[in-house]
Amino acid sequence: MDKKPFVTLEKLREIERTYPTPFHLYDEKGIRENAVRLKQAFAWNKGFKEYFAVKATPNPFLLKIFKEMGCGTDCSSMTELMMSKACGFKGHDIMFSSNDTPLEEFAYAEKLGAIINLDDITHIECLEQTLGYIPETISCRFNPGGLFKISNDIMDNPGESKYGLTTEQMFEAFQLLKAKGAKSFGIHSFLASNTVTNEYYPMLAKLLFELAVKLKEETGVHITFVNLSGGIGIPYCPDQEPNDITAIGEGVRRAYEEVLVPAGMDDVAIYTELGRFMMGPYGALITKAIHEKHTYKEYVGVDACAVNLMRPAMYGAYHHITVMGKEDAPCDHMYDVTGSLCENNDKFAIDRMLPEVEKGDLLFIHDTGAHGYAMGYNYNGKLKSAELLLKEDGSVELIRRAETPRDYFATFDFCDILKAFDERG
């Protein structure tokens, strides 16, 4: 099985005449269709809402698409809150899930009417001191500790995670929050990242539903929502089976019917905070081969680098690569595909079997729609690329221009040390 690009070589050649490589390209049709599938999978829950994880792809043009699809936003910082506000999100359409949170960010989240999700029991006092009160609607992030396993496979290690409250702290926190005036409560948890299994969400849901029942019984609080957060992954490798969101939604429904309904809690809303699942497969980094090198290995040098996509350098993450126009050619050449940073880990692929790559070929690096552009940086003075949206009608819209040297030097505008600077150097 192979991955298919969502755009043709002819279309890319047309695009690059206006927008030179490298650039991130997003597929509007795929984004919208996927959002519909998610909504249908959880349609059995009247209060269901997806809060798109802004951190995954913080672009207002994309946020407005999700707003049109009935989603909210999941924010973790002041600027993400500001972007959400600018895009028309307000009130409980915003979830503020932060950690080690600056107090001014609590204040701004409350000003917007966002649901605040507390990461630590000590944040109750911080929040009250900042606002002068506790909001009527409040949420707490749960960390059960230990290892999280599915079918004896270790998925992650919550016990080593910096996030969330312990079981005992959840009960203490809910009692304290209730005493301070909170009336509507939520539970949030994130136990594993990028799971490619239909079992994760149902298992997490059952764990949180059981906790919700106990919290209600022992503290008397009114739990109005359970936030399953993110964790539903995507198949970066061609031989991986993708998650079936319909099966996942059905698994959560069964857990809901088994645990919450008998406890008289059939009004609890289900929330999700998906980023990678919502955007990952619907973005690609388009880059051009500009050099070839023959030393101890065979190298293809491209005009993108880890500034444009950090995941392979940072995590050793796999991203599939299609050499456009050579989809049917045999993959009989082994290459390291590299960028130009002064770091040896600046590689999009190592020992990757590809068709013969020639200078000028366009490479489609798959699954960069989430945590691609967002993780970019400016090491070596490299500039971030443009972001483009391939619209449903086949047209292309610029949704973020490429950085220029003037952007790079902008934070020196308080002094005249670079007064001689101009775009031509």
- Residues with a catalytic annotation lie at 342
What distance in Å separates the CA atoms of residue 283 and residue 6, rounded to the nearest whole number? Answer: 9
Please give the distance of CA 330 from its chain centroid, rounded to a whole number: 34
